[in-house]
Structure 1
Amino acid sequence: MLQKWSLWSCTTVQLCQLSILRAHYQQSVVMKAREDICSAFSLVIAYQCTFDSHQAHHRKLCTTTVRVSHVILVIIILAVFVTHTIFVYSRESLEIQSIVVKDAKNQVIPTIKVATKDLYERGHFNDPVTFARICDENGASVNLLILITSAPSRQDHRMAIRQTWGHFGTRRDVGIGFMLGNSRDPATEEQLSAENLLYGDLIRGHFDDAYLNLTLKTLSMFEWTASHCSGAKYLLKTDDDMFVNVPRLLDFVGEKFGEKRTIYGRLAERWPPVRDDKSKYFVSLEEFSPARYPTFTTGPAYLLTADIIPELFSKALEMPFFKMEDVFLTGIVAEQLQIQRVGDSQFLNQRLSTIGSGRCKVKTVISIHDLKPNELYEFWKQSLDGNIFTCDLPVKVKRTDGQFVRRGCGCGINERRKRTGGVDVGRNVLRRRVVIVGCVVTKRSPQMGRTTAAAAPASSVVRVQMMTLSWLTAIGLML
């Protein structure tokens, strides 16, 4: 019995212990679970906190980035604007500095619009003694002043003019001079000084002598006329490759004497600007945007009444510079001043040949363009010899090949032939094998070297026909 009680007691104790252990285990499990839950919750909270902090950081970072981007964009825009402004300003400064007035370094003409007065320097190099040779007593007795634009290197052209139509400068009522700029070459300058010492007809302005500076050269011409030859009645602006028929020009001036505010020349109406950048006459849209030029007189030669010269000079200085001299001065500026421009076909301003019909026109025109020095001599000789040509009747010329051609000048005597079979009608020599029908021609005798009037020779065919007709007439009379 006691043994059973002891066994029961042990079993009870063990059960209690097991219960206690189970309770501890359950408590530990619960605690562990609680700890795990707390740990997990702590992790969630920690993660949430970390996420929130990261999100806030990202938001702050994004906001900062956007702000920085905006600042950078503004800086870039400002930098582009400032750079463009500096580039344009520096480009204009460089271009203007390369053509500015004080030192006359004006060889390059910009495409931007610059005031003409900023490019032009007043005054001339020469002394008053030279000016008096061209226009004495300030032009009190000068009816016609002819000023010729020339380049420093073209001494042969100036000499050809002096020895031909420039002879009229010895008249008291005619003044003739050459307008030049700077050559920038000491040797050339020395030659020009010697040339002017000998002839006293060079006018030197304060600009570099270049084609694109022709506007400045013509303005210098106007200034010189207004300052040193204001008494002249008319000014002819022309070039050194021109033949000017001075007697015919004086007749023209006599017919127009008393007229005011007028420019005479070859009229150019509705001419478009040249947009080909390879042409010497190229004009960009920045320089001149309209599709047509105003009416102007072409530059090789035009005649101005002297009363408009000071006005043209002053107005041109106030306007934007334009490199095309004739368009600018006789077109744009003249239109602003409401100056009349009159066209006359005598201002040919085109090239003529020294052979053929061109030789006959020398007496009917005032100005011929684009001539070499030797051609100037040829036209001068033809203009003096009034007996060489008879240009009044259109005639019919029979050539050696039997064909007829119509000639309106000189009865065909200037027709050039090959030097074969004695046929040569160049140099005013008329050979027998050229038939002139119905005209009395002027024939130069090769032996005597003088001009004589002669009837046109007839060919053998014509002689046979005439002889046959004569015999038939005689036989008829006898019958």
Structure 2
Amino acid sequence: MLVEDMVDTYDNLTVKTLLMLKWTADHCSQVSYVVKVDDDVVLNVRALSRVLAGAAERGWPLVGRLLRRPAPFRSPSHKWYVPRWLYPEDALPEYLSGPSYAVAGSALRPLLRAALKTPLLPLEDVLTTGVAADAAGLARHHVPGLDVFPSLLWLTRPCLARASLSTGSLTAREIRAIWDTASRPPAGLCWLLDRLGIIDQGREW
């Protein structure tokens, strides 16, 4: 566990993420990838490792769920509010969704150098994988199955989460249910879907 000298607030998530990337660049720069994951995410580590091995062969610097220039939220009551004075453009840059994405070890220092020259935004994924990545000339690559939102069906069939590489916006109870179910051999409907190859990533748990 790493503890940095900073105020741990949601608006400082950008600072926390950059400090994490800096520590990795200083101590583990030889890694193929570092994966940033929120604490409400279930991660299929083995399946993601296999995907990232393929991404490394292709030389992909940034990997995740790509969001293509969405409009910023302008309502002050919204969790991800971005005032126009802070970001005047009508569309955000392309970026990778924040709950889980991967940064190649070779991209860490260029990304950090660019981020230090970028006005701070409270949206860490937008700043890190969007604005700073553009400034550093780092390409983003979309990977299906990363940062999937849970469906209502998962409340009764947690094994369906095995079809994803990572699943976010979960409660602690939902995380436990998915983990327990995904860690057991599939049965019933999940066995059929597994045999059909629909949730074959579940074999990687």
User: Is this a same-fold pair by TM over 0.5?
Assistant: yes
Instruction: State the secondary structure of the residue aligned to 2:37.
Output: strand
Tell me the distance in 2 between the aligned counterparts of 1:232 and 1:206. Answer: 25
Kept in 2, the 8 Å contact 1:300–1:349? The answer is no
Instruction: State the secondary structure of the residue aligned to 1:370.
Output: coil
Instruction: State the secondary structure of the residue aligned to 2:193.
Output: coil
Residue 393 (structure 1) shift: 7.7
Tell me the distance in 2 between the aligned counterparts of 1:355 and 1:374. Answer: 10
Kept in 2, the 8 Å contact 1:234–1:306? The answer is yes
| Equivalent residue number for residue 31 of structure 1 | none
Runs of 4+ more than 4 Å apart: none
Instruction: State the secondary structure of the residue aligned to 2:5.
Output: strand
Kept in 1, the 8 Å contact 2:22–2:112? The answer is yes
Deviations 1:450-477 (A, max 9, x none): xxxxxxxxxxxxxxxxxxxxxxxxxxxx
| Equivalent residue number for residue 341 of structure 1 | 140
Are 1:270 and 2:42 an aligned pair?
no
| Equivalent residue number for residue 368 of structure 1 | 167
Are 1:218 and 2:17 an aligned pair?
yes
Residues 241 and 302 from structure 1, CA distance in 2 versus in 1: closer, same or farther, beyond 3 angstroms?
A: same
Tell me the distance in 2 between the aligned counterparts of 1:297 and 1:370. Answer: 16
Q: Residue type matched to 2:193 in 1? A: C
Q: Which runs of 5+ in 1 are unaligned?
A: 1-201, 395-407, 410-479
Identity of aligned residues (%): 27
State how 1:35-434 maps to structure 2 within 5 Å: 202-353=1-152, 354-357=154-157, 359-388=158-187, 389=190, 390-391=192-193
**Larger CA deviation: 311-320 vs 343-352:** 343-352
Residue 216 (structure 1) shift: 0.3
Kept in 1, the 8 Å contact 2:14–2:123? The answer is yes
Q: What's the TM-score once normalised by structure 1's chain length?
A: 0.39
Residue 378 (structure 1) shift: 1.1
Tell me the distance in 2 between the aligned counterparts of 1:292 and 1:345. Answer: 23
Residues 310 and 261 from structure 1, CA distance in 2 versus in 1: closer, same or farther, beyond 3 angstroms?
A: farther
Q: What's the TM-score once normalised by structure 2's chain length?
A: 0.87
Residue 348 (structure 1) shift: 3.1
Q: Residue type matched to 1:203 in 2? A: L
Tell me the distance in 1 between the aligned counterparts of 2:100 and 2:195. Answer: 30
Q: Residue type matched to 1:373 in 2? A: A
Instruction: State the secondary structure of the residue aligned to 1:320.
Output: coil
Tell me the distance in 1 between the aligned counterparts of 2:121 and 2:186. Answer: 47
Tell me the distance in 1 between the aligned counterparts of 2:194 and 2:58. Answer: 31
Kept in 1, the 8 Å contact 2:67–2:97? The answer is yes
Q: How many residue pairs were aligned?
A: 194
Residue 324 (structure 1) shift: 0.9
Instruction: State the secondary structure of the residue aligned to 2:2.
Output: strand
Residue 392 (structure 1) shift: 5.1
Kept in 2, the 8 Å contact 1:362–1:382? The answer is no
Residues 260 and 393 from structure 1, CA distance in 2 versus in 1: closer, same or farther, beyond 3 angstroms?
A: closer
Deviations 1:327-377 (A, max 9, x none): 1110111111221111122103423454345x2432221111112222222
Instruction: State the secondary structure of the residue aligned to 1:342.
Output: strand
More helix by share: 1
Residue 322 (structure 1) shift: 1.3
**Larger CA deviation: 225-234 vs 267-276:** 225-234
Tell me the distance in 1 between the aligned counterparts of 2:5 and 2:151. Answer: 34
Q: Which runs of 5+ in 2 are unaligned?
A: 200-205
Q: Residue type matched to 2:165 in 1? A: I
Q: CA RMSD in A?
A: 1.9
Deviations 1:377-408 (A, max 9, x none): 211111111232221589xxxxxxxxxxxxx9
Instruction: State the secondary structure of the residue aligned to 2:52.
Output: helix
